[in-house]
């Protein structure tokens, strides 16, 4: 028996949905959904769905979700009127359970089929409003209150000068976690784990690392594109920014994947253009290639994104495994003297605290006054992802990034058997992603830094 529980909640804005009969249904102001697979057999399963209304009373309700896998289907359901269109499932109240008072519950169930994987559904909404994890949120009549999710508060981001700025034109710093390769660790990115990242870790962003080689995108472009879009939706539902990482590493010249990049980014940019939470990272760690080669790649890929999504921030990887060239004997001057010919872009910097110390920090300190930087990946250990935590160097790095308002994502929010992972091996098969018993030494340190208040400036 496999059991999956997803805690989802709450919907912060007011959208209505007309009920089947009687007065119009009110918008949901808060909800919790517990999804449980009670039994599973070859190609089929039985699941229960419990809705708890945490907000104002509802007279009429509709629950919707999206299946992560195209092969998942609802076969027969009870305690609601069920339908499915594509991968979207809709369950509308029956006459006898149409009313959900504050704290009221509705227990639904269904049998289903699947042809591939059978992951838990994502993107639950109640009466058309995304369930994000808590009751209420930012007051829609007062967007400058500074309450709500990171996306609620900051809205569409843009680059202003050398800073990442929010919808008010104020410099901000985002702090969050990077996935490991989604081809290997998909079990780590569920409703439960992302609830924990948003609610317990209080992260601002999720970096979605889609490897291109190494059993990644090139093996199934459509499938990996769909998975990335699914994770974008899951991040959006929790008010997290989604950093889409086109994770190139070997070969190090991004031009090797130029055609793949154009295809991928044309698709995800068109699909996600209306979203405010998406940031595009067009090449992960260029290495063994000149800055001119990286620049050439960027100036061909960025227009593809801009054609569909003219407003989103784009991040360009830098020479020497995104070290601003330091790891290959150069520095930021080659970028300063020959920047990418595009606007609203930032440059990636990566470090591993036990391997990259004072000379790398000096480069970042100097470059930050000339270039908009985003640390899209860093580790607390050596550049191999292993070794022991270097607490002193990690703290020095994070203090510097805080001082300069440089955003960052830690490698990795996974239970990989390596010391850079935030979670202990085996954690992703359970439901706890936050307590001290499941965190590695690195995870405990990073969670303690990320979970401190953001204090995003508004107005």
So which residues are the catalytic ones?
285, 377
* CB neighbour burial string for 61-98, b if at least 16 within 10 angstroms, e if fewer: bbbbbbbbbeebbbeebebbebebeebebbbbbeeebb
Per DSSP, the chain holds a count of helices (H) and strands (E) of: 10, 22
CA angle, residues 337, 342, 345, in degrees to nearest 5 = 90
Sole residue written with tokens 């909640």: 9
Is the dihedral angle over the CA atoms 439, 444, 450, 453 positive or is it negative? positive
Distance, in Å, from the CA atom of 298 to the CA atom of 420, rounded to the nearest integer, reads 29
For residue 268, give the DSSP letter. Answer: H
Strand partners, 82: 91
Structure token digits, residue 107: 């227990």
Strand partners, 48: 36, 109
* DSSP string across 21-37: SSSPBPPPS-EEEEEEE
Label residue 329 left, alpha or beta by phi (over 0 means left) and psi (-120 to 50 means alpha): left
Distance, in Å, from the CA atom of 117 to the CA atom of 226, rounded to the nearest integer, reads 14
| 221-237 vs 258-272: helix crossing angle, rounded to 10 | 40
CA nearest neighbour of 108 among 56, 63, 58: 63
Distance, in Å, from the CA atom of 12 to the CA atom of 16, rounded to the nearest integer, reads 12
């Amino acid at each position: 028996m496999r059991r999956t529980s997803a805690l989802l909640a709450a919907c912060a804005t007011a959208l209505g949905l007309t009920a089947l009969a009687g007065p119009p249904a009110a918008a949901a102001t808060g909800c919790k959904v517990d999804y449980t697979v009670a039994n599973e057999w070859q190609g089929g399963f039985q699941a229960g769905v419990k809705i708890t209304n945490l907000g104002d009373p509802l007279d009429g309700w509709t629950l919707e979700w999206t299946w992560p896998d195209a092969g998942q289907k609802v076969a027969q359901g009870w305690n609601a009127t069920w339908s499915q269109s594509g991968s979207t499932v809709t369950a509308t109240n029956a006459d006898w359970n149409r009313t959900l008072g504050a704290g009221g519950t509705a227990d639904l169930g269904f049998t289903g089929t699947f042809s591939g994987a059978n992951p838990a559904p994502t993107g639950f909404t109640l009466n058309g409003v995304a369930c994000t994890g808590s009751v209420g949120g930012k007051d829609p009549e007062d967007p400058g209150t500074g309450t709500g999710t990171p996306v609620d508060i900051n809205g569409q981001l843009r680059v202003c000068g050398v800073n990442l700025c929010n919808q008010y034109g104020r410099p901000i710093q985002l702090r969050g976690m990077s996935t490991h390769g989604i081809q290997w660790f998909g079990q780590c990115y569920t409703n439960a784990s992302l609830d924990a990242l948003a609610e317990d870790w209080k992260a601002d962003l999720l970096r979605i690392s889609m490897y291109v080689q190494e059993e990644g995108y090139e093996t199934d472009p459509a499938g990996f594109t769909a998975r990335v879009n699914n994770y974008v939706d899951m991040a959006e539902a929790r008010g997290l920014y989604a950093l889409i990482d086109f994770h190139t590493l070997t070969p190090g010249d991004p031009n090797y994947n130029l055609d793949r990049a154009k295809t991928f980014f044309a698709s995800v940019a068109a699909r996600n253009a209306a979203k405010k939470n998406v940031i595009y990272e067009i090449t992960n760690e260029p290495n063994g290639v000149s800055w001119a080669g990286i620049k050439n790649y960027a100036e061909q890929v960025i227009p593809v994104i801009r054609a569909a999504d003219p407003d989103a921030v784009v991040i360009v990887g830098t020479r020497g495994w995104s070290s601003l060239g330091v790891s290959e004997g150069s520095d930021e001057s080659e970028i300063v003297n020959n920047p990418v010919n595009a606007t609203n872009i930032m440059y990636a910097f990566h470090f591993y605290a036990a391997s990259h110390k004072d000379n790398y920090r000096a480069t970042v300190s100097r470059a930050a006054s000339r270039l908009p930087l985003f640390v899209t990946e860093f580790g607390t250990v050596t550049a191999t992802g292993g070794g022991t935590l270097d607490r002193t160097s990690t703290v020095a790095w994070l203090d510097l990034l805080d001082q300069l308002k440089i955003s960052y994502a830690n490698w990795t929010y996974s239970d990989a058997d390596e010391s850079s992972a935030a979670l202990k091996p085996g954690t992703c098969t359970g439901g706890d992603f936050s307590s001290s018993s499941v965190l590695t030494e690195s995870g405990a340190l990073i969670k303690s830094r990320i979970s401190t208040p953001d204090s995003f400036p508004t107005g």
